[in-house]
Amino acid sequence: MAAVQETVEQVRQIDVDQYKYGFVTNIESEKAPKGLSEDIIRFISAKKNEPEWMLDWRLEAYRRWKTMQEPSWARVDYPPIDFQDLYYYSEPKKKPALKSLDEVDPEILATYEKLGIPLKEQKMLAGVVSDEGEDAGGDEAASGQPRARVAVDAVFDSVSVATTFKEELAKAGVIFCPISEALREHPDLVRKYLGTVVPTTDNFYATLNSAVFSDGSFVYVPEGVRCPMELSTYFRINEAQTGQFERTLIIADKGSYVSYLEGCTAPMRDENQLHAAVVELVALDDAEIKYSTVQNWYPGDADGKGGIYNFVTKRGDCRGRNSKISWTQVETGSAITWKYPSCVLRGENSRGEFYSIAISNGRQQVDSGTKMIHLGKNTSSRIISKGISAGRSQNTYRGLVSAHRKASAARNFTCCDSLLIGNECGAHTVPYIEAKNASATFEHEATTSKISDDQLFYCLQRGLSEEEAVALIVNGFVRDVLQQLPMEFAVEAQKLISISLEGSVG
Amino acid sequence: MGENVTANRTPAEIGLAEAFAQLDGKLPGNSDVKAKREEAFARFGSVGLPHRRVEAWHYTDLKSLQREALPLAAPPSAEAKTAAWNAQTLFAGLGARRLVIIDGTVVPALSDMDGLEPGLTVSTMAAALSEGDPFVASHLGTGRPVDDPAVELNTAFMGDGVVIRVAEGAVIERPIHLVFVATGDVPASTFVRSLVVVGNGAKLTLAESHQALGAAAYQPNIGLELVVGDDAQVDYVKCLRESTASQHLASFMTALGARAVFNHFSLTTGGAVVRNQLFLKLNGEGACVDIRGANLLRGNQHADTTLVADHLAPGCQAREVFKSVLADESRGIFQGKISVAPDAQKTDAKMMAQALLLSETAEFDSKPELEIFADDVQCGHGTTAGALDEDLRFYLMARGIPADEAESLLIQAFVGETLENIAHESLKSVLMSAVADWLQAGGASHA
């Protein structure tokens, strides 16, 4: 109840301006010329001081991309994208030899401050009481302080501007750095895993990303290490007419554990901007990766003008025995979302999980879901998807669960529920279930309904306003998924949900 | 995307185009019908046979499954008629009014065309097309789905079929049985199109059975359009027991009026490749449908049930339950789509597809879809796939029931749910025994 009260208040506060992250940071930036060509790819690669093989890898992807067609099967509708009318690289102009956080452009620091992402170590994400004061030393953190701490990699347009808690993580043996840095400092590790989960040939946007990706995070957790804190990347698109193409690669070596959070926002603009990311996760024997996303890209205005096209390929590979990958996502932003975080359950006894809340309002279009591909014996997966459509939005769950011949005793449970608010929106469910093994047990259930009059009446009877009642019911509807989020994010996400639904009641 | 792939025509597609050119002017119908055929074939020709890149046919790739286009079946010979008459048909003991269709041609001599109840009219499609029957012309193709290649082909090549009309308020107690018999001595294809129009407040029970006498390759393409008027009720059952040399495409197109009631059951145990398509349009407020089906497959059989339920009016109710029992290398497919239009408030629709996999090599693919544009609805679907429950089997065996009998009991119970709602008692018991027959046939391939 307290949480609901909080969300309602939050909604009131920002009554006027629903999208509170829509500001633009005035900062000088350095851009590659507009358009896409082999020269641009060479430019990006040179800019990052990449090894020769990486450039070849990119060029190969680019040549393949030129032969590919944009996918058209999703239930989304948008004018054709002119891929030559985009900037593929933009970085804030930086001072030479950036050594510590203090040297980061104060404008950028201010931006992240405003977004509630403290880049100064020791501070925490919004929603949790922050602790002022200087760094008390790494040892204390490693020994497990009661308060949560999060290491942040901040990506601003095409480059990573800051990564916090690096030394402390290094003590545990965890590598957490921008992928461009990883390519220079840990080239063998990157080369071994990059593109093994999402190959360069995978799909139109993944191939484009392989050619032009500029930055993103790289995480390696060594054997037997439980990552001492949550890792987080915060993506911010600032520059106009710029696409963001980040690439994240997370490797959890045998017996390790890591929890990773991702957040994203962009300024309010009339134009549509493209975000085509690739995320690859690799879990080896007995390892576990928990990947959480709160996606809040600018969704466009009420008439569907502007907003981010979020065309993302995310896939986890449970390569080892007893490995586990869990995706949790709260999708509230973007004009168009095209996103299917998937798990390839290769190792015996491996487990994949997908928890999703997808909220669409205004003219947003969401086509999202997951794939659970059971290849190994005794693999199991669980899908909980909650879609909420309001305004004039279209919200589609699209998912695949398949068990291959050798996936004996594979198990899946899928539950996708949709809630409709208002009579101009649509909610759709398109699941594919493919069982090629008799001992595989699949269960799938889906429901679509509106907030029942009875429930609403019950709440109104007890003196809640209609808005409060809806917030309460919606919070109950998505609770299964919110519980999966790390605490700091859960609070943030809950606020976000009420903000996204603002204006759809009454 | 898909269009580019059709550039190379397969032998079957070339065969169909040649057949269509050769049959020009030989198929029944006046110039209007001819125009309809040409339009339909042109639409088919522009996309060709469906393949896995065509979403609606993703799991039934006709382009690779249908290697050749078989020649159109010749009108049945006297021997064929005798053979068909002597063959025991499934619903023989029901006392139903039999309308016999041998190799795609209605045979009035073997059919009960006389003594029609008041309000019932029965004629043949070939005659209706030739005479340019305005009633048939006005209804034909009205329930046609958009761009379905099986229906387009049926319209292009339709030869014969039955036309049944039930007048307003007429209650026809005696079931009508459409007996489809394939002689199966030479490879052949048939294109049968039937039209059943049931007037407001009328009532009809319709049964359809398919069997083959020989084992020659056979490609039936069956189209049935059913128009159910306001407050009318139609109970329909279909039993498919053709040989495993058959590639059976059936398209069932139904339009329902206000408060109409439609109960459907279909049982498939035969055929090598079967695609049962159901297109439901709930046009009238408060229509109520109950759609059930069971596919029992073994060997290399492939059966695809595709259901599209368009809820276009408020307050309609739909229940859909499909079960597949899959042995050996068989493949069962269920695609079901519940689509609710913005005006169809208060829709209550539930769909369930379940499969029992009896062998390691069987496969079940399921795609239950919801497409909802109205907010005040209750819609749900579920799907499950799995092997027989070991605990249940153990329970029965612990009580002295042998393993195979226990298995058989469990399968019957699993399938039973789809049969229990058949109102006509003797139809129900005949279908139950057909299920038992399939179980009895055991490991051997069923013909």
Confidence band of A81 (pLDDT split at 50, 70, 90): confident
Nearest residue to A182 via CA among A173, A191, A170: A191
| Exposure b/e, B92-111, CB count within 10 A at least 16 = b | eebebbbbbbbbbbbbeebb
Chain B CB contacts of A449 below 8 Å: 377-379
Burial (0-12, 13-18, 19+ Cβ within 10 Å), A340:
buried
Across-strand partners of B280? B254, B309
Mean pLDDT of A274-294: 93
Q: How many CB atoms lie within 10 A of CB B365?
A: 21
Identify the H or E element spanning B137: helix B134-139
Chain B CB contacts of A448 below 8 Å: 370, 372, 377-380
Question: What are the φ/ψ torsions at residue A236 (nearest 5 degrees)?
Answer: -135, 125
Let me know: does A178 contact A218? Beta carbons within 8 Å.
yes
Q: Which of A367, A398, A448 is most worth mutating to test chain B (most B CB atoms within 10 A of its CB)?
A: A448
Name the residue in chain A with its Cα closest to that of B326. A438
Chain B CB contacts of A438 below 8 Å: 357-362, 386-387
At CB < 8 Å, which residues of chain A contact B? 69, 71-73, 405, 418, 420-450
For residue A147, what pLDDT is reported? 45
Number of domains composing chain B: 1
Q: How many CB atoms lie within 10 A of CB B75?
A: 12
Nearest residue to B264 via CA among B423, B141, B395: B423
Contact B362 A438 (CB under 8 A): yes
Lowest mean pLDDT among A123-127, A373-377, B195-199: A123-127
Nearest residue to B340 via CA among B349, B351, B331: B349
CA-CA distance, A370 to A352, in Å (whole number)? 10
For residue A480, what pLDDT is reported? 82
Residue B167 lies in a domain: no
For residue B12, what pLDDT is reported? 93
Contact B362 A444 (CB under 8 A): no
Chain B CB contacts of A432 below 8 Å: 365-367
Q: Strand A217-221 to strand A175-178: parallel, antiparallel, or no bridges (unpaired)?
A: antiparallel
Residue B396 lies in a domain: yes
Q: Which residues contact A144 (CB under 8 A, 6 or more apart)?
A: A228
For residue A320, what pLDDT is reported? 94
Chain A CB contacts of B366 below 8 Å: 431-435, 444
Distances (CA, A) of B289 to A58, A216, B245: 56, 53, 33
For residue A89, what pLDDT is reported? 83
Q: Which residues contact B383 (CB under 8 A, 6 or more apart)?
A: A431, A433, A442, A443, A444, B334, B352, B353, B354, B366, B368
Q: Within 13 A of A118's CA, how many CA atoms are on the CB side?
A: 16
**How many angstroms separate the CA of residue B353 from the nearest CA in chain A?**
10
Mean pLDDT of A61-75: 90
**How many angstroms separate the CA of residue A425 from the nearest CA in chain B?**
6
Residue B406 lies in a domain: yes
Domain that holds residue B408: 388-446
Mean pLDDT of B4-24: 83
Chain B CB contacts of A422 below 8 Å: 375
Alpha-carbon torsion, ordered B114, B116, B120, B122, to 10 deg: -10
Residue B435 lies in a domain: yes
Domain ranges of chain A: 2-130+145-505
CA-CA distance, A250 to A16, in Å (whole number)? 39
pLDDT tens for each residue of B9-18: 899 999 999 9
**How many angstroms separate the CA of residue A448 from the nearest CA in chain B?**
5
Confidence band of B262 (pLDDT split at 50, 70, 90): very high
Q: Which residues contact B91 (CB under 8 A, 6 or more apart)?
A: B175, B177, B179, B207, B209, B239, B427, B430
Chain B CB contacts of A437 below 8 Å: 357, 360
Contact B385 A433 (CB under 8 A): yes
CA end-to-end span of chain A, whole Å? Answer: 21
Q: What angle do CA A18, A21, A27 make, to 5 degrees?
A: 145
Identify the H or E element spanning B395: helix B390-398
Contact A447 B374 (CB under 8 A): no
For residue A119, what pLDDT is reported? 60
Contact B369 A430 (CB under 8 A): yes
CA-CA distance, A289 to A189, in Å (whole number)? 18
Mean pLDDT of A438-448: 88
Chain B CB contacts of A505 below 8 Å: none
Chain A CB contacts of B374 below 8 Å: 420, 423
Question: What are the φ/ψ torsions at residue A32 (nearest 5 degrees)?
Answer: -80, 155
For residue A506, what pLDDT is reported? 40
Q: Which of B52, B55, B59, B364 is most worth mutating to test chain A (most A CB atoms within 10 A of its CB)?
A: B364
Chain A CB contacts of B385 below 8 Å: 433, 435, 440-442
Structure tokens at A285: 């024997």
**How many angstroms separate the CA of residue A339 from the nearest CA in chain B?**
18
For residue B444, what pLDDT is reported? 38
Contact A433 B366 (CB under 8 A): yes
pLDDT tens for each residue of B143-172: 888 889 999 999 999 999 999 999 999 999
Q: What are B425-432's contacts with CB under 8 Å, separation 24+?
A: B426/B93, B426/B94, B427/B91, B427/B94, B427/B175, B427/B205, B427/B207, B427/B237, B430/B90, B430/B91, B430/B93, B430/B94, B431/B237, B431/B239, B431/B265, B431/B267
CA-CA distance, A140 to B167, in Å (whole number)? 87
Say yes or no to pLDDT of A244 above 90: no
Q: Which of B311, B359, B383, B388 is most worth mutating to test chain A (most A CB atoms within 10 A of its CB)?
A: B383
For residue A238, what pLDDT is reported? 74
Type of residue found at B324: S
Percent of chain A with pLDDT strictly greater than 90? 38
pLDDT tens for each residue of B298-352: 999 999 999 999 999 999 999 999 999 999 999 999 999 999 999 999 999 999 9
Residue B398 lies in a domain: yes
Chain A CB contacts of B370 below 8 Å: 418, 427-429, 446, 448
Across-strand partners of B353? B322, B383
**How many angstroms separate the CA of residue B360 from the nearest CA in chain A?**
5
What number of residues does chain B have?
447
CA-CA distance, A300 to A333, in Å (whole number)? 9
Q: Strand A371-374 to strand A175-178: parallel, antiparallel, or no bridges (unpaired)?
A: unpaired
Structure tokens at A44: 């990006």
CA-CA distance, A335 to B440, in Å (whole number)? 58
Contact A443 B364 (CB under 8 A): no
For chains A and B, count residue pairs whose Cβ atoms are closer than 8 Å: 121
Q: What angle do CA A113, A117, A121 make, to 5 degrees?
A: 95
* CB-nearest partner of B372 from A405, A421, A448: A448
CA-CA distance, B67 to B59, in Å (whole number)? 17
Contact A420 B342 (CB under 8 A): no
Across-strand partners of B233? B203, B261
* CB-nearest partner of B374 from A72, A423, A442: A423
Confidence band of A148 (pLDDT split at 50, 70, 90): low
Distances (CA, A) of B282 to A40, A277, B322: 56, 43, 20
Confidence band of A311 (pLDDT split at 50, 70, 90): very high
CA-CA distance, A117 to A126, in Å (whole number)? 7
* CB-nearest partner of B386 from A421, A432, A441: A441
Q: Which of A394, A433, A443, A450 is most worth mutating to test chain B (most B CB atoms within 10 A of its CB)?
A: A433
For residue A423, what pLDDT is reported? 83
CA-CA distance, A217 to B162, in Å (whole number)? 68
Helices (H) and strands (E) in chain A, counts: 12, 24
* CB-nearest partner of B379 from A439, A441, A447: A447
Burial (0-12, 13-18, 19+ Cβ within 10 Å), A30:
middle
Contact B376 A423 (CB under 8 A): yes
**How many angstroms separate the CA of residue B11 from the nearest CA in chain A?**
28
Q: Which residue has the tokens 């499954």?
A: B65
For residue A301, what pLDDT is reported? 80
Q: Which residue has the tokens 């010979």?
A: B77
**How many angstroms separate the CA of residue B369 from the nearest CA in chain A?**
5
Name the residue in chain B with its Cα closest to that of A398. B369
Chain A CB contacts of B377 below 8 Å: 420, 448-450
Say yes or no to pLDDT of B366 above 60: yes
At CB < 8 Å, which residues of chain B contact A? 1, 55, 342, 345, 355, 357-387
CA-CA distance, A357 to A485, in Å (whole number)? 11
| String of DSSP letters for A425-446 | -EEEEEEEEEE--TT-EEEEEE
Say yes or no to pLDDT of A58 above 90: yes
* CB-nearest partner of A438 from B55, B357, B383: B357
**How many angstroms separate the CA of residue B354 from the nearest CA in chain A?**
9
Residue B403 lies in a domain: yes
Structure tokens at A242: 């710029």
Chain B CB contacts of A504 below 8 Å: none
Return the higher-pLDDT residue of A197 and A161: A197
Return the higher-pLDDT residue of A33 and B299: B299
Lowest mean pLDDT among A249-253, A341-345, A471-475: A471-475
Let me know: does B238 contact B214? Beta carbons within 8 Å.
no
Name the residue in chain B with its Cα closest to that of A437. B360
* CB-nearest partner of B372 from A71, A72, A428: A428
Mean pLDDT of A324-343: 91
Residue B225 lies in a domain: no
Mean pLDDT of B81-90: 79
> Which residue spans within A172-287 are E strands per DSSP?
175-178, 217-221, 230-236, 247-252, 257-265, 272-275, 278-283
CA-CA distance, B338 to B147, in Å (whole number)? 18
CA-CA distance, B429 to B409, in Å (whole number)? 16
CA-CA distance, B420 to B178, in Å (whole number)? 22
